[in-house]
Structure 1
Amino acid sequence: MTRDDTQTGGLRRWMIRTLTLALGLALAFLAGAAAMHLGMHAGDQERIQGLQDQVASQRAELTQAQTDLAAAHSQVDVQSGTQRVLQEKFAELQQQLGHVRDQLAFYEQLIPPGPAGALTVRAFDIQADADFLRYRVLLTRNAAPNADPFKGRMRFVAQGHMQGKPVKMDLNPPLASDQAGGADATPGTVDPLALVFDQFQRSTGVLQVPAGLEIQSVRLEVLEGDTIRATQDAALNRAAQPAQEPQS
C-alpha cells in the first residue's frame, strides 16, 4: 500500500467521524428544539385555558352585575314613586294643618278673657222654615288647659202669642219626647241639645213649632245641671216668601 492510499483512507475516516458527529449534534439539537417547542406549546395551552376560565368567570360576574343593576333601577323607581306619593300627602297634611291652625287662632280670639270656666254665647241665629225653626249657635268657654270639659244642655224658650195671649214656651227638636232629654226620653237616646266641649262649640239643628204659636223671639239658655250659665235672645228671621204673580 502506498503512502497516498494511507493518507486517503485516513482523510475518509476523519470525514466519516466528522459527519457522524455533526449528524449526532444535529439530531440532538432537533430533539431539544422539538422538546422545547412542545414544552412551550403546553405552557401556552395552560395559559390560554386559564385566560378562558377567567373570561368565563368575568362574563358570569358581568351578567350578575347587570341583573343587580336592573333590580336596583326598578327599586329606585318604586322608591321614587313612593317618595313622591308621601311628599304629596305631606304637603296636603301641611295645608290641612295650616287651615286647622287658622281656625284655632280664630276661635281662640273669641274666647273671653274672663275668669276660668266663663261661658259665653258668641253667636245665636234662628230662622223660620215652615213649621220648623233652624238654629245656629256658637259657644266659647275660657277653660284652663287641663280643665274637665263642660257638660250641659241648651234650652230654647219662645216668646210670642197663642190665641191672642202672650206666652213663653219651650221649643224642642221633632219627636221631643224621645230626644229632648226630659222625663219621657227613651234611655240611651242621644239628646240633640246636649253639650260637651272644652273651649268652643258650634251647634246647628231644627226645632218644632207648636201649632198656633206665633213666635216673636227666642231665648237661648245654656244649662249646667239646673243652673243657667249663659243666655241670649234672637229675633226670629223669616225666610223670604216667593213673589206672587199679579192676577189678571
Structure 2
Amino acid sequence: MRFRLLRRRLTISAPRVSVRSAMPWPLRWAVLAIMLGFCGAIALWAFEFGKNLAGLEPHAREEVLALREQLAQMRDERDKAQSVANTSGSLLTAERATQERLLAQVHQLEQDNRSLRDDLGFFEKLIPANSQDDVGIRGLQAEVLAGQQLRWQILVIQPVKAGPEFKGRLEMVLSGTLAGKPWEMPLPQGPVALQFRQYRRLEGVLELPAQAVVKQVTARVLDANGSRAVQTLKL
C-alpha cells in the first residue's frame, strides 16, 4: 500500500499542487508602483536623451518660428522680384514699340527734310536778283506722262517781305493739236483761287484727250484789277 501511494505521488498521476506567495497584497501594489515609476523615469530619460541627440534644444521652437518667418520673407521677396521682372518685360516691350515708332518718325522727318531742301533750292532758283513789288510767276513746269496725262507745277511769288495779302486766281490753258487740228483746253476745274502773302506753289495732273498733242502751256495770274502776270512754256 505504501508503495502504491509513493508511486502515485512521484508519477504523472500524482495530485496537482498550487504554490502561493506569502507576500501580502499591499506590498505587492507598492512594488508594482515602484516598478512603474522606475519605468517612467527611464522613459523620460530616454525622451530627453533622444531630444539632445536630435538637436532639439529648449529654444528649438523659437528657431523654428524664426526660420518660418525668414521663409515667408523670402517668399515675399521672390514675389516682388517676379513682379519687377514682369514689369521690366512690359517696359521693354513698350520701349521697343516706342523705338520703332521713333525710327519711323525719323525716316519721315528725313524725307520731309529732303523735300524742304528741294523746295528751298527750287525757290532760290526762281527768286530774281532784282525783285519788284509785284506778283510774278516763277518756275512754270509741265511734263507729258505716259497714258495721255500732263503733270504741271507752278510757283506764284510776291517778292516783298511783309507785303499785303494777295487775293486772285490762276488760269492755265493748254494749246496744241488734236487729231491734227488746232486745239486748246483750260483747266477742267476752272481757275484756281489764290490767296497768299509771299508765295504759293501749285501742281496737278491733267487727263488729256486721245490724239492730243500739247505744244504750249500758258499760265495767267489775275486779281480784281485784271491780269498781274503771264508766263508761257513751250514743250
Distance 1:100 1:128 in 2: 22
Counterpart-to-counterpart distance in 2, 1:76 and 1:133: 52
Is there any run of 5+ residues in structure 2 with no aligned partner, and where?
1-47
**2:112 maps to which of 90, 97, 106:** 97
Residue 138 (structure 2) aligns with = 121
Q: Find the counterpart in structure 1 of residue 69 from structure 2.
A: 54
1:16-165 pair list within 5 angstroms: 43-109=58-124, 110-113=126-129, 114-125=131-142, 134=150, 136-144=152-160, 147=163, 149-156=165-172
Distance change (3 Å), C-alpha of 1:206 and 1:215? closer
**Alignment identity in percent?**
14
TM-score, L = length of structure 2: 0.53
Which segments of 5 or more consecutive residues in structure 1 lack a partner in the other structure? 1-33, 162-166, 181-190, 238-248
Aligned length: 174
Find the counterpart in structure 2 of residue 199 from structure 1: 199
CA contact (8 A) 2:145 2:151 kept: no
| Structure 1 residues 96 and 59: CA distance shift in structure 2, 3 A | same
* 1:230 alignment counterpart: 229
Return the alpha-carbon distance in structure 1 between the equivalents of residues 103 and 199 of structure 2.
32
Is the aligned partner of 1:173 residue 2:174? no
Q: CA deviation at 1:141?
A: 0.9
Residues in 2 aligned to 1:216 and 1:80: alpha-carbon distance in whole angstroms? 57
**Which structure would you say has the larger Rg?**
2
Measure how far apart 1:229 and its partner are: 1.5
Partner Cα distance (1:55, 1:215) in 2: 91
Which residue does 2:34 correspond to in 1? none
**How far apart in 2 are the matches of 1:231 and 1:46?**
105
**After superposition, what is the alpha-carbon deviation per residue over 1:29-79, rounded to whole angstroms, capped at 9, x for unaligned?**
xxxxx9xx99xx674133323322333222322322332232233123223
RMSD of the TM alignment (CA)? 4.4
Q: TM (normalized to structure 1)?
A: 0.51
Give me the whole-angstrom Cα distance separating, in 1, the residues matched to 2:94 and 2:214: 65
SS at match of 2:194: strand
Note closer, same or farther for the CA distance 1:153–1:134 as it changes in structure 2 (3 Å cut). farther
Report the AA paired with residue 108 of structure 2.
L
The question of whether the paired residues in 1 share the 8 Å contact of 2:168 and 2:222 is answered with yes
